[in-house]
Amino acid sequence: MGKIFIEGLSVDTLIGVYDWERERLTELSIDIELEAELEKAMASDDVMDTIDYAKVADCVVQVGKESQFELLEAFGAKVMDTVLQQFPVQGISIKIVKPGILPNARRVAVALSRART
Ligand SMILES: Nc1nc2c(c(=O)[nH]1)N=C([C@H](O)[C@@H](O)CO)CN2
């Protein structure tokens, strides 16, 4: 078993509770941690034997393009379910950062995780 990380992935999506947030896209920054079996790729040196992090990143960007959630929590659930569906990972943890949304905080974030059942 091993881990693959994608850090600071920029994802534009329609998200937010308030009317003004639903008039434009918001740029989120997402950290992703994937738990996966990496022994085969360690031996073969072949990208076909691992989780291609470029494909995971494209998948998450696409989820952002297609979704219109109010809450970071609901968006995060969709991201995790989609990655678990499309890639042979054992588990996924994500941190979704929404910068500059509160006047008195640099950023807000939620951290979520799911394991394959
Ligand atoms: N736990 C959460 N709280 C809030 C969220 C959220 O996604 N999760 N979102 C909002 C608004 O959309 C925020 O971006 C602006 O205040 C408020 N609280």
Angstrom distance (rounded) from CA 22 to CA 69: 10
> Of the residues 17, 107, 112, which should be mutated to test ligand 1's pocket, given the most ligand atoms within 8 Å of the CB?
17
Per-residue pLDDT of the chain (117 residues; tens, 9 = 90+): 999 999 999 999 999 999 999 999 999 999 999 999 999 999 999 999 999 999 999 999 999 999 999 999 999 999 999 999 999 999 999 999 999 999 999 999 999 999 999
Q: What percent of the chain has pLDDT over 70?
A: 100
* The predicted structure's pLDDT at residue 73: 98
- What pLDDT, in 10s, does the model give residues 34-62? 999 999 999 999 999 999 999 999 999 99
Topology given in CATH for the domain delimited by 2-115: GTP Cyclohydrolase I, domain 2 (3.30.1130)
Ligand 1, atom 6: closest residue by C-alpha: 71
Question: Domain limits of the chain?
Answer: 2-115
Q: Left, alpha or beta for 16 (phi > 0: left; psi -120 to 50: alpha)?
A: left
Pocket of ligand 1 (CB under 6 A): 16-18, 21, 71-73, 98, 101
Active site residue 3: no
Residue 11 host element (H or E): strand 2-13
Q: How far is the CA of 77 from the centre of ligand 1 (A)?
A: 15
Q: Give the number of other Cβ atoms within 10 Å of residue 76's Cβ.
A: 22
Angstrom distance (rounded) from CA 73 to CA 13: 14
* The predicted structure's pLDDT at residue 53: 98
Angstrom distance (rounded) from CA 30 to CA 13: 12
